[in-house]
Amino acid sequence: MGVPGLYRDGKNARDHQIVVRLLGHGLDIIDHDGQVLAHWPKAQISRVDGTDDLRLACSSHPLARLLLPQPSPVSLWLPQRRSARGLWLGLVAGSAAMVALLAWGLPRLSIVVAHMVPLETERSWGQTFVAQMEDRKVVCADASGADALDRLEKRLATALPAEQRPTRVVVVNDPLVNAIALPGGTIIMFKGLLDQAESADEIAGVLAHEMAHVAQRHPLAAAIRSIGVASLATMMTGDFSALVATLGGMALSGHYSRTDESAADSMAVDILRDADISPLGLATFFDRLNQQGGELPEFLSSHPELESRRQRIVGLPLGAPTSSALDKVDFQNLKNICAQPARKLSTR
């Protein structure tokens, strides 16, 4: 006595009429002459899903298949499947945990990775960055204004080790109220920011903040982060989402994390204090822009914390007696630096 069914041996396409004899440790496949065609050990047998009949495979005969009509005593004889209860809950919880871990870990990891990149590599890479903007921006080059900017930069940079100083600080003729630090250590201040500033201390504050980003290599870290996020998104969502990931990466690029911003704020206060400049200029600038609203410049990128960032700076000990960042003449010269827009950005 046995269970009738069909057998395919994996060597030709034909169906063989057989009966299956169930044993404790496995099953025998027997043809109509009573010959045993194959013996399948129970431990090697698996179901092939997706068909109406019961299909079995045996791992030691990779392409051989046993086809049995349902319902069949063989399905009771086989080990029963475990149900996948709790799978969904576990999966959702697990992926939420992973997303949280990434949100927490990526900013930190990207800083660590950024510090592992040799400075020369970052600078030559940053050069290509600057070259991309070459055609569109014009650097302001009024001689006395550039002198004033140079003096301010030198004064702020004295406390920093040579390798942490910015490679270049330039003003471009653009109404944007913003300042950005590029990978490779170039700091670009926009003319609109100079126009908004009511004292040299405010400009010094913003410059110190950008210099702190450069010193801590935040621009490179942000670039690494956006590449990382883009490639993770691509791999997680499947083959085709490169476009989505690229757009996401672009949207994220140049955005610093909150940790980066507060680190830059507190280092900026140190830089200003070491240069005997009042950090209150930065706080005043925060305040003015906060009241104006509108589009947010880079150095204020996390808006909700603007007021608390301002308060933290005000709350810090001011240190030694301070003097103005630039004298009146230099301040006016700096504000007029775009009287002579001449040089292209990428030339030194």
Partner 1 sequence: MSHRAFSYDGQTGPLVRLSVVNFLLNIVTLSLWRFWGKTQVRSYLWGRTRIWNEPLEYVGRGGELFIGFLIALLVVFAPYMAVVFTGQMLVAGGQPAGVFLIVVAQIVIFFLIGVGLYRARRYLMTRTVWRGLRAGQDGSAMAYALLTLGHVVLLGLTLGWSGPWMSVKLDRYLMNNTRFGDTGFECEARSAPLYKRYAALWFSFIPVMVSFAVLTQFVDLPSPDRSGFLPAMVGIYAWVIVSVLLFSGLPLAAYHAAYWRNLAAHTRFDGIGFGFDMGTWRLVRLFFGNMLITIFSLGILRPLASQRTLRAACEHLTMESAPDINRMVASPQAVPRTGEGLVAALDGIGEF
Q: Could you list the residues that contact Zn ion (CB under 5 A)? A: 264, 299
Query: Is residue 99 at the binding interface for partner 1, with CB under 8 A as the rule?
Result: yes
* Closest CB 239 distance from partner 1, rounded Å: 5
Closest residue (Cβ) to Zn ion?
Answer: 299
304 binds, among Zn ion, partner 1, none (CB under 5 to 8 A by kind): none
Asked if residues 199 and 184 have their Cβ atoms less than 8 Å apart, the reply is no
Give whichever of 143 and 236 is closer to partner 1, judged by the CB atom.
236
Give whichever of 34 and 62 is closer to partner 1, judged by the CB atom.
62
Query: Is residue 163 at the binding interface for partner 1, with CB under 8 A as the rule?
Result: no
Residue type, 184: G
Give whichever of 163 and 239 is closer to partner 1, judged by the CB atom.
239
Query: Is residue 116 at the binding interface for partner 1, with CB under 8 A as the rule?
Result: no
Stretch (H or E) spanning 111:
helix 87-116
* Total count of residues recorded for the chain: 348
Return the closest-CA partner of residue 180 out of 306, 303, 299.
Answer: 299
Query: Is residue 128 at the binding interface for partner 1, with CB under 8 A as the rule?
Result: yes
Return the closest-CA partner of residue 255 out of 208, 203, 289, 303.
Answer: 303
Integer Cα distance of 348 and 343 in angstroms:
9
Query: Is residue 343 at the binding interface for partner 1, with CB under 8 A as the rule?
Result: no
Give whichever of 9 and 305 is closer to partner 1, judged by the CB atom.
9
Any idea what the Cα angle at residue 157 is, between residues 206 and 326, rounded to 5°?
60
Asked if residues 93 and 155 have their Cβ atoms less than 8 Å apart, the reply is no
Query: Is residue 238 at the binding interface for partner 1, with CB under 8 A as the rule?
Result: yes
Give whichever of 8 and 288 is closer to partner 1, judged by the CB atom.
8
Query: Is residue 175 at the binding interface for partner 1, with CB under 8 A as the rule?
Result: no
Query: Is residue 38 at the binding interface for partner 1, with CB under 8 A as the rule?
Result: no
Q: Please give the order of strands across the beta sheet that includes 54-58.
A: 36-41, 26-31, 16-22, 3-8, 61-68, 54-58, 45-48
φ/ψ bin of 91: left (φ > 0), alpha (ψ from -120 to 50), beta (otherwise): alpha
Give whichever of 83 and 161 is closer to partner 1, judged by the CB atom.
83
Asked if residues 297 and 175 have their Cβ atoms less than 8 Å apart, the reply is no
93 alpha carbon, distance to own chain's centre? 22
299 binds, among partner 1, Zn ion, none (CB under 5 to 8 A by kind): Zn ion
14 binds, among partner 1, Zn ion, none (CB under 5 to 8 A by kind): partner 1
Give whichever of 264 and 269 is closer to Zn ion, judged by the CB atom.
264
Query: Is residue 143 at the binding interface for partner 1, with CB under 8 A as the rule?
Result: no
Asked if residues 56 and 74 have their Cβ atoms less than 8 Å apart, the reply is yes
Query: Is residue 108 at the binding interface for partner 1, with CB under 8 A as the rule?
Result: no
Q: What are the φ/ψ torsions at residue 198 (nearest 5 degrees)?
A: -100, -10
| Contacting residues toward partner 1, per CB under 8 A | 8-15, 48-51, 62-65, 87, 91-92, 94-95, 98-99, 121, 124-125, 127-128, 132-133, 136-137, 176, 180, 232, 234-242, 244, 247, 250-251, 254, 295
